[in-house]
Amino acid sequence: MLQHLIYGALTCVAIMAPLAAAADTTVQPAPNGIELPQGYKDWRVIAPSYRTDKKHVRVIVGNDIAVNAARAGKTNPWPDGAVLGKLSWKEKVDEHWAPALVPGDFVQAEFMLKDEKKYASTGGWGYARWLGMDQKPYGKDANFAQECVACHTAVKSNDWMFTHPAKLP
Ligand code: HEC
């Protein structure tokens, strides 16, 4: 009897786990079909950055393939399967220490996905951006990525990547 109960509970977990993993489909894909990378909120940091013109604080994060490549210094080119994310917040003055700027309202999450073949038309990287807390996909149609490519062309010789992994001891 107990065995049946345990078996039943395990089966239940086994069936529900994939459902739970796939459950976050409330976020619409980008107009070029790229889906919001699952689990990006748990990715490790590759570098922070700050935009003086937009007054945004950012972190550039990566999936395991990207972070491992960064730690190994193998980032030109980045390996296929690497995904980098850039998470941006409006700057906010720390309420207890005015000289400190800290993250305020969330602005957007942007991603670059490396796949030389799949994204050959945009330099081997797929681009996607989701705006605000409700994660609204950015761009009217698939051509929005041309805007990303245009700006990132400035760093074409660095595999289209502005970010250099921040140095660690
Ligand atoms: C006006 C220029 C410009 C445009 C347009 C632009 N980017 Fe960037 N992007 C940058 C700069 C500069 C950085 C370096 C870090 C920063 O801005 O904080 C960057 C960084 C990134 C990063 C982190 C990896 C890296 O290259 O450093 C991602 C991911 C990214 N951008 C995605 C996008 C996507 C997706 C789009 C289009 C929807 C886009 N970018 C459009 C200028 C641009």
Q: How many domains does the chain have?
A: 1
38 in a domain, yes or no? yes
C-alpha 100 to ligand 1 mean position (Å): 24
Q: Please report, for the domain that includes residue 111, its CATH number.
A: 3.50.70.20
31 in a domain, yes or no? yes
Protein residues with CB under 6 Å of any ligand 1 atom: 49, 51, 58, 60, 84-86, 110-112, 127-129, 138, 144, 147-148, 151-152, 161-163
pLDDT in tens, the chain (169 residues): 555 544 544 444 444 444 433 335 689 999 999 999 999 999 999 999 999 999 999 999 999 999 999 999 999 999 999 999 999 999 999 999 999 999 999 999 999 999 999 999 999 999 999 999 999 999 999 999 999 999 999 999 999 999 999 999 9
What is the reported pTM?
A: 0.88
18 in a domain, yes or no? no
The atom number, within ligand 1, closest to the CA of 111 reads 29
Task: Pick from 46, 89, 112 the residue to mutate for probing ligand 1's pocket: most ligand atoms within 8 Å of its CB.
Answer: 112
Domain that holds residue 113: 26-158
3 in a domain, yes or no? no
**Cis-peptide, bond into residue 77, ω within 30° of zero:** yes
Cα separation, 85 vs 8, whole angstroms: 40
100 in a domain, yes or no? yes
Nearest to 125 by CA among 95, 94, 149, 98: 149
70 in a domain, yes or no? yes
12 in a domain, yes or no? no
